[in-house]
Amino acid sequence: MFGPPGAGKGTHSELLVNKYQLTHISTGDLFRKNLGEGTPLGLKAKTFMDQGNLVPDEVVIGMVETAIKDAGHVKGIIFDGFPRTVAQAGKLDELLISLGHPVSGMVSLEVPDEELKNRLKLRAKTSGRVDDQDEDKINNRIKVYYAETQPVIDFYKTQEKYYPIHGVGKIEEIFGMICDTIDKL
Ligand code: ADP
């Protein structure tokens, strides 16, 4: 599940988990959990997250590797907020190919910047997330998305695994389009 901050990745991932009995690996959620528990991993990630910058690739990849191992034998996995750099995408490919289950497809939620900013400002009221709280941090996350994360689209386009979905409208309608895409994979 791919898209800029505020695109709806978490919302739709949860709906997919319920509908298809999938396992959800959200790197943002995992970092926040580690932060809450004060683990060394959480402490390592904190300064990057608070500023809306990306956590270094090797930290993220190590964490995802552990999460995949911990998941054990599952029907399928939704990766949410990962891979967020081309280097992470390459590592994920290596990892999943070695396990005999390559990525099936990348569902990319496309939402204009103005809408993203409005959603994140609204979410700030309830999320309690430091990185939702001020405009500079939100703007930085969107800037980082364009600089480091958007190139991941080309990585999957080349593999013919890129499925863009218009992410503005009613949640159930967007979810319907995502399901139509997934059902064809
Ligand atoms: P959002 O997409 O709404 O910005 P996430 O919950 O996906 O939020 O991520 C929150 C923060 O966690 C990011 O701004 C970043 O600092 C860190 N993070 C999450 N996933 C990754 C990743 N794959 N690579 C690097 N940093 C990540």
Q: Report whether residue 55 contacts ligand 1, using a CB cutoff of 6 Å.
A: yes
Q: Provide the pLDDT for residue 73.
A: 94
- The CATH code of the domain that includes 170 is 3.40.50.300
Low-confidence spans in the chain with pLDDT less than 50 = none
Most ligand 1 atoms within 8 A of CB, residue of 2, 13, 49 to mutate: 49
185 inside domain? no
45 inside domain? yes
Q: Provide the pLDDT for residue 76.
A: 97
36 inside domain? yes
119 inside domain? yes
Which structure tokens are listed for 175?
A: 């979810």
Domain count, the chain: 1
pTM for this prediction: 0.96
2 inside domain? no
Encode pLDDT of 58-83 as tens digits: 999 999 999 999 999 999 999 999 99
3 inside domain? no
118 inside domain? yes
Task: Specify whether the CB–CB gap between 62 and 70 falls below 8 A.
Answer: no
Please provide the DSSP assignment of the chain as one string. -B-STTSSHHHHHHHHHHHHT-EEEEHHHHHHHHHHHT-HHHHHHHHHHHHTPPPPHHHHHHHHHHHHHHH-S-S-EEEES---SHHHHHHHHHHHHHTT-----EEEEE--HHHHHHHHHHHHHHH--GGGS-HHHHHHHHHHIIIIITHHHHHHHHTT-EEEEE--S-HHHHHHHHHHHHHT-
Q: Provide the pLDDT for residue 66.
A: 97
Q: Containing domain of residue 68, as a range?
A: 9-179
Mean pLDDT of the chain: 97
120 inside domain? yes
Q: Provide the pLDDT for residue 30.
A: 98
Q: Provide the pLDDT for residue 67.
A: 98
Most ligand 1 atoms within 8 A of CB, residue of 1, 14, 26, 27 to mutate: 27
